[in-house]
Structure 1
Amino acid sequence: MSLSPELDEADQPQTSGRRTGRSFYAAPVSEFRITDDDAIIGRLSSRHVAFHAAAEAEQLRAWKREIEILKESFAKLGSLCDDWQLLLEIPLLRLGKRIDAVVLAPGVVGVIEFKINATAFQSADRVQTERYAQSLSDFHEASQQRLILPILCAERARAKPPSTTLVEGVGTLMEANATTLADALLIVQSHVDPNAAAIDAHGFDYSPYRPTPNIVEAAQALYAGHEIADIGRGDAADAELQAAAAALQEIAADAEASRAKVVCFVTGAPGAGKTLLGLDLALKSRSGTRPAALLSGNRPLVHVLTEALAEDSAARGAMTKTEARRFADAAIQNLLGYLKEHTDGAPPPEHVIVFDEAQRAWDAEVGKELMGRPSSEPELFLEILDRLDWACLVCLVGPGQEINRGEGGLALWGEALRSAQSAGSRWCVVAAPQALDGGPDVPGSGMFVEAGLGGVEVRREPALHLSNAIRAYRNPLHAQWVARLLDGDIAEAKALAARMDAPPALMTRDLAVAKEWLRQRRRGGRTVGLLASSGAVRLVGEGVPPSPRSNELNPIGHWFLKPFTDFRSAGALETPMSEFGCQGLELDYACLCWGGDLIWNDQGWLPRMMRAPRWQIARDTEKQRFRLNGYRVLLTRARAGLVLFVPRGEADDPTRSPDEMDACADALIAAGCAELTQN
Structure 2
Amino acid sequence: MSSNTRSFFACSGEDFLKKDPHTILGALSIRVGLQHAGDESQQIKAWERQILLLQSALNDLDKPPDGVLLELPLFRLERRIDAVILARGAIICLEFKIGSRSFGSADVAQTVDYALCLRDFHSASGGRPIYPVLCADSAPDDLCRSNLHLTDHVTRCTLVNGKWLSRAFQAIIAEGDGQSSDWARFDAARYNPTPNIVSTARALYAGHSVAEIGRADASSEAIEQTATKLRDIARDAKLHSRKVVCFVTGEPGSGKTLLGLDLVFSRKVDADPDEPAALLSGNRPLVFVLQAAIAEDARDRLGITATEAKRQAQQALQTLLGYLKDHTDEEADPPEHVIVFDEAQRAWDAETGLKLLGRKKSEPELFLEIMGRLDWACLVCLVGPGQEINRGEGGLALWGEALRDNPDWDAHISDAMLRGEGGLIGLLDNDVGNDLRPIVHQDLHLKTNLRAHRNPKQGRWVSALLADDIKSAAEIAKELDGPPSYLTRDFGEAKRWLKERSRGHHRVGLLASSGAVRLLGEGVPPSPMSNELDRVVHWFLREGDDFRSSNALEVPLSEFVSQGLEIDYACLCWGNDLICSDEGWQPRKMRAPKWTNIGLLEARRYRINAYRVLLTRARAGNVIYVPKGDDEDLTRSPAEFDQIEATLLEAGCMPLPIQ
Superposition TM-score tier, normalisation by shorter sequence: over 0.9
User: Structure 2 residue aligned with 1:439, among 405, 414, 420?
Assistant: 420
User: Structure 2 residue aligned with 1:132, among 110, 114, 119?
Assistant: 114
User: Structure 2 residue aligned with 1:308, among 293, 297, 301?
Assistant: 293
2:75 corresponds in structure 1 to: 93
1:103 corresponds in structure 2 to: 85
The reply to whether residue 671 of structure 1 matches residue 651 of structure 2 is yes
1:399 corresponds in structure 2 to: 385
| Closer/same/farther in 2, CA of residues 284 and 453 from structure 1, 3 Å limit | farther
State the Cα deviation string for residues 507-562 of structure 1 (Å, max 9, x = none): 00011111111111111110100000111111111111111001110000000001
State the Cα deviation string for residues 412-467 of structure 1 (Å, max 9, x = none): 1111111112xxxx1111111223x24123533x1123324542352111100111
Note the C-alpha offset of 1:161: 5.4
User: Structure 2 residue aligned with 1:338, among 311, 320, 323?
Assistant: 323
Q: Which amino acid aligns with 2:332?
A: A
2:8 corresponds in structure 1 to: 24
Q: Alignment RMSD, CA only?
A: 1.7
- Equivalent-residue separation in structure 1 for 2:78 and 2:591 (angstroms): 51
Specify the SS of the correspondent of 2:7. Answer: coil
- Equivalent-residue separation in structure 1 for 2:38 and 2:255 (angstroms): 39
1:449 corresponds in structure 2 to: 429
Note the C-alpha offset of 1:468: 1.3
User: Structure 1 residue aligned with 2:176, among 192, 206, 218?
Assistant: 192
State the Cα deviation string for residues 446-492 of structure 1 (Å, max 9, x = none): 11233245423521111001111111011111001001111111111
Specify the SS of the correspondent of 1:240. Answer: helix
Q: Which amino acid aligns with 1:443?
A: L
- Equivalent-residue separation in structure 2 for 1:442 and 1:262 (angstroms): 25
- Equivalent-residue separation in structure 2 for 1:565 and 1:362 (angstroms): 40
Note the C-alpha offset of 1:104: 0.9
Specify the SS of the correspondent of 1:272. Answer: coil
State the Cα deviation string for residues 561-618 of structure 1 (Å, max 9, x = none): 0111110000111110000010000011000001111111222111111111111111
2:125 corresponds in structure 1 to: 143
For residues 625-644 of structure 1, the aligned pairs below 5 Å read: 625-644=605-624
2:57 corresponds in structure 1 to: 73
Is the CA contact 1:268–1:442 (under 8 Å) kept in the aligned structure 2? no
The reply to whether residue 648 of structure 1 matches residue 628 of structure 2 is yes
1:9 corresponds in structure 2 to: none
- Equivalent-residue separation in structure 2 for 1:125 and 1:480 (angstroms): 38
Note the C-alpha offset of 1:83: 4.3
For residues 567-582 of structure 1, the aligned pairs below 5 Å read: 567-582=547-562
User: Structure 1 residue aligned with 2:364, among 374, 378, 381?
Assistant: 378
Note the C-alpha offset of 1:239: 2.0
For residues 500-511 of structure 1, the aligned pairs below 5 Å read: 500-511=480-491
Q: Which amino acid aligns with 1:293?
A: A
Q: Which amino acid aligns with 1:397?
A: V
Percent identity over the alignment? 52
Note the C-alpha offset of 1:298: 0.3
- Equivalent-residue separation in structure 2 for 1:287 and 1:570 (angstroms): 38
Note the C-alpha offset of 1:34: 2.6
Specify the SS of the correspondent of 1:470. Answer: coil
User: Structure 2 residue aligned with 1:273, among 255, 264, 273?
Assistant: 255
TM-score, normalised on structure 2? 0.96
- Equivalent-residue separation in structure 2 for 1:516 and 1:457 (angstroms): 55
For residues 192-271 of structure 1, the aligned pairs below 5 Å read: 192-195=176-179, 198-200=181-183, 202-271=184-253
More deviation, 665-674/151-160: 151-160
Specify the SS of the correspondent of 2:422. Answer: coil
Note the C-alpha offset of 1:38: 1.7
More deviation, 36-45/292-301: 36-45
Q: Which amino acid aligns with 2:545?
A: T
Is the CA contact 1:529–1:589 (under 8 Å) kept in the aligned structure 2? yes
State the Cα deviation string for residues 397-424 of structure 1 (Å, max 9, x = none): 1100001111111111111111112xxx
TM-score, normalised on structure 1? 0.94
Q: Which amino acid aligns with 1:566?
A: D
1:37 corresponds in structure 2 to: 21
Is the CA contact 1:150–1:173 (under 8 Å) kept in the aligned structure 2? yes
User: Structure 1 residue aligned with 2:530, among 550, 554, 570?
Assistant: 550
- Equivalent-residue separation in structure 1 for 2:235 and 2:169 (angstroms): 56
| Closer/same/farther in 2, CA of residues 318 and 209 from structure 1, 3 Å limit | farther
| Closer/same/farther in 2, CA of residues 171 and 96 from structure 1, 3 Å limit | farther
- Equivalent-residue separation in structure 2 for 1:37 and 1:232 (angstroms): 34
- Equivalent-residue separation in structure 1 for 2:56 and 2:620 (angstroms): 38
| Closer/same/farther in 2, CA of residues 96 and 510 from structure 1, 3 Å limit | farther
Specify the SS of the correspondent of 1:494. Answer: helix
Specify the SS of the correspondent of 1:643. Answer: strand
Is the CA contact 1:607–1:617 (under 8 Å) kept in the aligned structure 2? yes
Is the CA contact 2:65–2:86 (under 8 Å) kept in the aligned structure 1? no
- Equivalent-residue separation in structure 1 for 2:473 and 2:416 (angstroms): 24
- Equivalent-residue separation in structure 2 for 1:153 and 1:475 (angstroms): 34
Is the CA contact 2:580–2:586 (under 8 Å) kept in the aligned structure 1? yes
Specify the SS of the correspondent of 1:143. Answer: coil
Could you tell me which runs of 5 or more consecutive residues in structure 1 were left unpaired when the two chains were aligned: 1-14
1:363 corresponds in structure 2 to: 349
Specify the SS of the correspondent of 1:392. Answer: strand
1:527 corresponds in structure 2 to: 507
Note the C-alpha offset of 1:221: 1.4
Q: Which amino acid aligns with 1:647?
A: P
1:611 corresponds in structure 2 to: 591
| Closer/same/farther in 2, CA of residues 306 and 662 from structure 1, 3 Å limit | same
Is the CA contact 2:148–2:172 (under 8 Å) kept in the aligned structure 1? no
Is the CA contact 2:75–2:213 (under 8 Å) kept in the aligned structure 1? no
More deviation, 616-625/587-596: 616-625
2:463 corresponds in structure 1 to: 483
Q: Tell me which stretches of 4 or more aligned residues in structure 1 moved more than 6 Å.
A: none
More deviation, 641-650/100-109: 100-109
2:406 corresponds in structure 1 to: 420
Is the CA contact 1:45–1:54 (under 8 Å) kept in the aligned structure 2? no
Note the C-alpha offset of 1:330: 1.0
- Equivalent-residue separation in structure 1 for 2:622 and 2:167 (angstroms): 35
Could you tell me which runs of 5 or more consecutive residues in structure 2 were left unpaired when the two chains were aligned: none
Is the CA contact 1:494–1:672 (under 8 Å) kept in the aligned structure 2? yes
State the Cα deviation string for residues 152-172 of structure 1 (Å, max 9, x = none): 111122224523100111122
Q: Which amino acid aligns with 1:306?
A: Q
More deviation, 280-289/547-556: 280-289
- Equivalent-residue separation in structure 2 for 1:609 and 1:312 (angstroms): 42
For residues 312-331 of structure 1, the aligned pairs below 5 Å read: 312-317=297-302, 319-331=304-316
Is the CA contact 1:162–1:183 (under 8 Å) kept in the aligned structure 2? no
State the Cα deviation string for residues 21-77 of structure 1 (Å, max 9, x = none): 221111222222232222221111111111123553322221111112112211221
Specify the SS of the correspondent of 2:421. Answer: coil
